[in-house]
Amino acid sequence: MIPEPETLENVELARWDPVFWSNQLFSQPKMMGILCNNDHPALNLFPTSSHSDWQWRNLLDQSEALIIDNTAAGFKPIIQFVPDFNYNQKLSALLEARVGKESLMICNIDLFNNTAYPETANQLLRSILSYMQSKQFMLAPELDLELVKELMKSAPKMASESDAPDATRAVVHIDAGAQSTLGPAKVWNANDAPDKVITMNEGFSYAVDGSVWVGHSQSVWFNDQLKIRVTCPPAFKGSFYVYMNDPNSEDRAAHIFFCGHDKGPLLRYDRKGVWLRFEVDPEMAQSGELLFDARKDAGPNVTVQKLILIAE
């Protein structure tokens, strides 16, 4: 089993490079390499040491770490991620298990969509499949079916999740905090011009009830309850987009409201971030104000990186 990326709830973003400096200072995956059972027959056709080396780079850069904290202490994956010391988790890249009368292999390395180095991915896949066709595979350690179901739980997706909008059609396009310099967080103030205003058509304006955080590679608006108010023409019809990203990968989650309507929970947006889209009709815009309201459910606060409005 090779799950599609970003479809499971119990995963962490992974990569080949270890944590740079501090996971708490820079937005990055929490991995410090892998611990690999290089004597395992599943890797007989894939030469490797017990740790990550150059042949693993492209593979691990297209992988996720499956959180298997609920397995027994003696249960060990074939390939295990080593977490940063701030996050003492048991993380799998490749594991095998007996589930009832059947054997199961779960690989969280994306071996099907690796276009940069397909030979490496194909060789690892060939090695795994060769082992699975052998009688040794039937001797895998046992896992309870209900535990496997919990491990493989699909990531919930709220109805407002969307693909990235076509920014060339925007009537409003803002990058949060992108005009600010690196330093302590500040309360958002329009007079400070903290944001990069890429597009602002006549008749539109905005305000943020929150603060601005600027990191080395990205910036966001944040607050425990983050409100973004957009003034628009009363007859406006179109789409309201926000891009929510968790810059420090601190397991943020939020409950979303738009123009007074409860849009439900957004559970984790710390992998590649998520675009949310809300339809706006003239009745909704009649007051001349659109209100996005995100309230912290988990993590230190709520964060938004981009705002885009597109007219129909």
CATH number for the domain harbouring residue 211: 2.60.120
Any long-range contacts for 20-27 (C-beta under 8 Å, 24+ apart)? 23/84, 23/86, 23/87, 23/248, 23/249, 24/86, 24/248, 26/215, 26/216, 26/217, 27/215, 27/217, 27/218, 27/246, 27/247, 27/248, 27/249
Q: Is position 206 within any domain? A: yes
22 and 135 share one domain: yes
Which of these three, 93, 125, 151, is where a domain ends? 151
Q: Domain check: are 143 and 172 in the same one?
A: no
Domain end position, chosen among 121, 151, 181 = 151
Q: Which amino acid, one-letter code, is at 214? A: V
CA distance 213 to 218: 9
What is the residue whose two structure tokens read 């849009």? 263
Q: Which residues of the chain have pLDDT under 70?
A: 23-28, 156-159, 270-272
225 and 123, same domain (yes or no): no
Are residues 135 and 167 located together in one domain of the fold? no
223 inside domain? yes
Same domain for 42 and 140? yes
Q: What pTM, to 2 d.p., does this model score?
A: 0.63
Q: Are residues 80 and 118 in the same domain?
A: yes
In a domain, 156, yes or no: no
Torsion sign across C-alpha atoms 196, 199, 201, 205: negative
- 129 and 201, same domain (yes or no): no
On whether residue 5 sits in a domain, the answer given is: no
Strand partners, 311: 238
- In this structure, the answer to whether residues 113 and 24 fall within a common structural domain is yes
In a domain, 1, yes or no: no
What's the confidence (pLDDT) of residue 252?
85
Phi, psi for residue 144 in degrees, rounded to 5: -70, 140
Instruction: Using DSSP, state whether 126 is helix, strand or coil.
Output: helix
> Which pLDDT score, from 0 to 100, does residue 148 have?
92
Do 55 and 114 share a structural domain?
yes
**Same-domain check for residues 106 and 143:** yes
In this prediction, residue 62 carries a pLDDT of 85
CA distance 209 to 136: 60
On whether both 61 and 102 belong to a single domain, the answer is yes
At residue 209, the pLDDT reads: 97
- Domain end among 130, 151, 172: 151
182 and 126 part of one domain: no
Is 14 within 8 Å of 63 (Cβ atoms)?
Answer: yes
Give, in degrees to the nearest 5, the angle at Cα 55 between 53 and 60.
85
**In the prediction, which pLDDT does 291 show?**
97
How many Cβ atoms are within 10 Å of 136's Cβ, its own excluded? 14
Total domains in the chain come to 2
C-alpha separations of 46 from 40, 50, 55 in Å: 10, 12, 9
In a domain, 224, yes or no: yes
For 4, which DSSP code?
A: P
Q: Does 2 map to a domain?
A: no
Domain that holds residue 58: 11-151
